[in-house]
Structure formats: structure tokens, C-alpha cells
A = this chain, B = another copy of it.
Amino acid sequence: MTKLYNVAVVGATGAVGEQIILQLEQSDLPIATIKFLSSPRSAGSTLSFKGKPVIVEEATPESFTAIDIAIFSAGGSISAELAPEAVKRGAIVIDNTSHYRMAEDVPLVVPEVNEDALRQHHGIIANPNCSTIQMVAALEPIRQQYGLKRVIVSTYQAVSGAGNLAIDELYTQTQAVLNNEPVEATILPSAGDKKHYQIAFNAIPQIDVFGEDDYTYEEHKMINETKKNHGRCKP
């Protein structure tokens, strides 16, 4: 008999959460029960899974009782607080945030590249940021065949990476430009930054906030997470 899994999605109402739910609906993962978790603000709303309504619940430590797999995508601070609680209750955590990526005892895994690293987990499995995943998936076959000495990278990133509020800002600004109305920028390029710039009909050379060394966190992520990939993609 196939084992069936109790699955929880943390950050179910976010832009990435929506896509995780879509992928779970289309996947062959044998799911017994599904639980959608969120912040208190979004709790109580109703989403659907395979045609059936699912009420979104507030994520608390107790939410993870009897959960086998918990997929986290609700921001680093939520993962920091609740992923250990989920592990404590027996769940395997797949964390999509940046919080545990560089932690020594957490494997940072891209299945096509270093799935061997999965065996070394202690409850939490992290995945790199999206740009790194795409890049190492393309680079790994080249590395295997020829080796890699240096990689020069330019990324072209979508507003959606900054979440639903950023997508809304893009649409609102765009309509304002088309209407010849003034444009307001309050979120992009990064909600964590003090400066905001028009993104409609624009391209901004900044993802995430700038660190003290004048590199953005996103640039650091690509460098560090690429090097951290365990197993086959060791630098």
C-alpha cells in the first residue's frame, strides 16, 4: 500500500503559495490531507484544492501535529519561528525562504543537481532562490562535461518575485502611465528598502536591498547558494 502524506502549505495565500498549491494539485504525490496555513491576517479565507474548498488556518506550532510534509513560503521570519516546531512534531520541512539556506546542517537542494544531499537532512530541506536554481540546473551538465572556472551572470527578474503587493503596484502604475496620471512607488524594488522607484515601463538594476558592500542580497544569494550546493555541484 502506498503511504499517503499529510501536507501543509505555509504562506498559502501568497504569490508563491498559489503556485505551490497548483503544483501539488498536478503532482503525483499521494496526499491524504492538505492544510493551508497563513498569517492571522489571511486566516479564514477559503482556497480550493482539487475542486474542494479549504479554509486557510492561522499557522501556529500546533498546526503541524500529524503533518508529514510542511512546505514553507511565508517569509524568513515565519520559517525561523515555525519550521523547528514542525520538525519537533515529526514533519519534514521544505523551506522556500532564505532563512535556513546557509545553515550548516540544512541541505540546499536542487533535485536535478544534487539530490544526493537530501539524505543528509535533519528535518529541514532548503532550496536556493529561483535564479540560482535555474542557473545551476543549466550549469551542472556543463560542469560535469568540461568543468567550470568562472560564471558571469545577468538575471532578468519578474516583479512577481516581490510578491502579490508588488504585482498590484506594477498594474496600478502601468494604468497610471497609460492614463497620463502621476505614478506612486511604495514597494518596489524591495519592500525592505527605503527608496522606491517606478517599475512600470522601466527596468531597475536592483533586486532586494543593498548590503554594506554595495552588492544586493540577491547577488550574494546567487554567489553563496551556488557554492553551497552540496554533493555533485561542489565548487
Query: Which A residues form the contact surface with B (CB < 8 A)?
Result: 152, 154, 156, 170-171, 174-175, 178, 201, 203
Bound-state CA distance A9–B174 (Å) is 34
Select which of B156, B174, B203 is within 8 A of A178 by beta carbon. Answer: B174
Set of chain B residues within 8 Å of A201, measured between Cβ atoms: 170
10 A-B interface contacts by CB (under 8 A) = A152-B152, A154-B154, A156-B203, A170-B201, A171-B178, A174-B174, A174-B178, A175-B178, A178-B178, A203-B203
- Kindly report how many copies of this chain are found in the complex they form together: 2
Set of chain B residues within 8 Å of A152, measured between Cβ atoms: 152
Bound-state CA distance A139–B171 (Å) is 37
Q: How far is the CB of A127 from chain B (nearest CB, A)?
A: 24
Q: How far is the CB of A28 from chain B (nearest CB, A)?
A: 32
Set of chain B residues within 8 Å of A175, measured between Cβ atoms: 178
Set of chain B residues within 8 Å of A203, measured between Cβ atoms: 156, 203
Bound-state CA distance A152–B153 (Å) is 10
Set of chain B residues within 8 Å of A156, measured between Cβ atoms: 203
Q: How far is the CB of A171 from chain B (nearest CB, A)?
A: 7
Q: Which residue from chain B places its CB closest to the CB of A152 in the assembled complex?
A: B152
Bound-state CA distance A154–B156 (Å) is 11
Bound-state CA distance A152–B150 (Å) is 13
Set of chain B residues within 8 Å of A171, measured between Cβ atoms: 178
Set of chain B residues within 8 Å of A154, measured between Cβ atoms: 154
Q: How far is the CB of A89 from chain B (nearest CB, A)?
A: 42
Set of chain B residues within 8 Å of A178, measured between Cβ atoms: 171, 174-175, 178
Set of chain B residues within 8 Å of A174, measured between Cβ atoms: 174, 178
Known: A170-B201, A175-B178. 8 other contacts (CB 8 A): A152-B152, A154-B154, A156-B203, A171-B178, A174-B174, A174-B178, A178-B178, A203-B203
Q: Which residue from chain B places its CB closest to the CB of A172 in the assembled complex?
A: B178
